Amino acid sequence: MTSPSVLPLAFDGSGIDGSLFTSVTGVAKDTPWLNQPVEAWTNLGLGVFAVLMLIGWWNARRRDTTAMALALAVPVSVVAAFAVAEVIKKIVAEARPCQSMPHAYVVEACPAPGDYAFPSGHTTTAAATVAALFLLDRRLSAIAAVFAVVEAFTRVYVGAHYPHDVLGAAVIALPVAYATSLALRRFATPVVNGLAKGRLRPLVTAAPAAAAHSAC
C-alpha cells in the first residue's frame, strides 16, 4: 500500500493524459493472454538495442576510424542521455500511474514511491540508441526506431508510464544522444587511431596491420 506521507509530495501527471493511459491499459485488460509476453518483452526487449550497438561496432571495424569512433560513442551517448533523464526524473518527481490512478488496470507491479515516472528510462535508452546510431548507420538506426516505438508502447501497456512519459523521454534522449555522439566523434577519432596501432587493433579495425600502417 502506498504511503500517504510520500505520495502527496509527488507530481500527479494523470491530469495530462490519464484518459489516454486508461485507453491503452484498457487494451491490456481486454487481452490478458498478451499481458505476460508484453511484460517480459518490455524489459528483455532492451537487449535488442545492445545487439544493434554490437552490430554497429562490428561493421565499423571494416570502415574508417571515424566510423569506429561513432560506434564506440553509441553506448556512451546512451548513458549520457539516461543520466540527464534521471536528473529530470528527480526534479519533476511524478508519481507512477499506479499510485495516482490506483483503480486503473496495471500489468506491471507498482514500484515503490520515489521511483518516479517522468521520463521513462526504458524509452530514454531506446530513443538514445536511435539517435546515436543515426550518425553511424542509418539502417541500424531505422531498425532501432521501430523497436523504440514498440518499447514506448509497452511501457504504457503494462501501466508503468503515461504516454507523456515516453514522449518526453524521446524528446530528451534524441538531442542529448545525438549531440554527445557528435562531440565524441571529434575527440574519439584520434584515440581510435592510437588503438589501431597497438594490441587492441583487432577491436577497432578489421584491416591487416600492413594496410593500417600504409593508410596512416
Could you give phi then psi for residue 94, rounded to 5 degrees? Answer: -85, 125
Query: Residue 153 carries which side chain, given as an amino acid letter?
Result: F
Mean pLDDT of 101-112: 89
pTM for this one?
A: 0.84
Query: Residue 17 carries which side chain, given as an amino acid letter?
Result: D
Whole-number pLDDT of residue 189:
64
Residue pair 11/92 in contact by the 8 Å Cβ criterion: yes
Mean pLDDT of 72-89: 95
Q: How far is residue 214's CA from residue 193's CA, in Å, rounded to a whole number? A: 13
Of 2-16, 29-43, 76-90, least confident by mean pLDDT is 2-16
Whole-number pLDDT of residue 212:
47
In the structure grid, which three cell numbers stand for residue 45, read together? 526487449
Q: How far is residue 195's CA from residue 193's CA, in Å, rounded to a whole number? A: 6
Q: How far is residue 10's CA from residue 32's CA, in Å, rounded to a whole number? A: 30
Give the mean pLDDT of the chain: 85
pLDDT at 51 over 90: yes
Q: For 112-162, what is each residue's pLDDT tens digit?
A: 888 899 999 999 999 999 999 999 999 999 999 999 999 999 999 999 999
Q: For residue 11, what are the β-bridge partners?
A: 94
